[in-house]
C-alpha cells in the first residue's frame, strides 16, 4: 500500500511575509516610564516604543455597544505569538521581551519591551498602551506629550487590562493574550 505524498511544503503560520497568516496585524506598543527628578522634583517621562509585526488584533466595539448600550464599551483582544518580530519604533533595532517587573527594573530598557497593566500617570511606575498599526508621534513631540498626541491622532489606541501568558504546547502555539479598552 502506498503512502500519500504531500502536495506542498508545510509552512509556519507566522512567517515574515504573513500572507495568509493568522497573525496579519502590526501594533505599536508604548512602554511609558514616569520618574521624579530628585533635583527638580518634576516628573520625567521616557517613551519606549516597540513595533510588533505578526499579531492578531480582534476588536469588538460593535458587539459591546449592542450588548451594553454604552458607546465607550469598545474592547480588544490581541494575540501575540512568542515568536513575534519586535523592533524599536525609532531605530528599527530588534528587541526582546522581558516580564513586566524585570523590564521596569532594567537599566537597558531600550533593548527590551513588555506588557504592563497599570494606570496612566503613576509617578515611579510605568504603564503600557498599544495602537493598531505603526503609529509613531510626529517628530519633535515632547516626551511628556507623546501619549496624549498618539491617543488624539490614532483611532485604535488601547490601554492594557489583562495579560494571559499561554506557554504550553509547541513553540508555534505559545502566545500572550492581551486584553484592552
Q: Helix (H, G, I), strand (E, B), or coil: what is residue 144?
A: helix
Tell me which residue of 122, 123, 129 sits closest to 163, measured CA to CA: 129
Residues sharing a CB contact under 8 Å with residue 164, sequence separation 6 or more, in sequence order: 176, 177, 178
What is the per-residue pLDDT for 9? 45
Note the pLDDT tens digit of each residue in 105-125: 998 999 999 999 876 545 456
How many angstroms separate the Cα of 20 from the Cα of each of 12, 16, 17, 24? 11, 11, 9, 8
Helix ranges (DSSP H) in the chain: 61-68, 100-105, 146-153
Q: Which three cell numbers stand for residue 117?
A: 497593566
What is the per-residue pLDDT for 119? 65
Mean pLDDT over 124-145 rounds to 90
How distant is the alpha carbon of residue 157 from its chain centre?
A: 10
**pTM for the predicted model, two decimal places:** 0.81
Beta-strand relationship, 85-88 and 43-59: antiparallel
Higher pLDDT, 10 or 154: 154
What is the per-residue pLDDT for 13? 45
Note the pLDDT tens digit of each residue in 42-92: 888 999 999 999 999 999 866 555 555 555 567 899 999 999 999 999 999
Note the pLDDT tens digit of each residue in 1-52: 565 554 444 444 444 554 557 899 999 999 999 888 889 988 889 999 999 9
Amino acid at each position: 500500500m502506498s503512502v500519500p505524498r504531500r502536495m506542498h511544503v508545510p509552512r509556519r503560520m507566522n512567517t515574515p511575509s504573513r500572507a495568509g497568516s493568522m497573525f496579519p496585524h502590526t501594533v505599536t506598543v508604548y512602554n511609558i516610564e514616569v520618574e521624579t527628578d530628585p533635583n527638580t522634583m518634576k516628573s520625567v517621562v521616557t517613551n519606549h516604543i516597540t513595533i510588533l509585526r505578526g499579531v492578531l488584533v480582534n476588536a469588538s466595539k460593535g458587539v459591546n455597544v449592542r450588548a451594553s448600550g454604552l458607546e465607550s464599551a469598545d474592547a480588544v483582544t490581541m494575540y501575540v505569538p512568542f515568536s513575534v518580530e519586535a523592533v524599536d519604533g525609532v531605530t528599527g533595532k530588534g528587541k526582546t521581551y522581558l516580564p513586566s517587573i524585570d523590564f521596569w527594573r532594567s537599566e537597558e530598557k531600550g533593548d527590551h519591551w513588555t506588557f504592563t497593566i497599570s494606570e496612566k500617570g503613576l509617578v515611579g511606575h510605568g504603564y503600557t498602551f498599544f495602537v493598531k498599526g505603526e503609529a509613531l508621534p510626529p517628530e519633535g513631540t515632547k516626551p511628556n506629550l507623546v501619549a496624549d498626541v498618539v491617543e488624539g491622532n490614532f483611532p485604535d489606541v488601547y490601554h492594557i487590562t489583562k495579560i494571559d501568558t499561554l506557554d504550553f504546547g509547541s513553540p508555534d502555539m505559545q502566545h500572550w493574550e492581551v486584553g484592552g479598552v
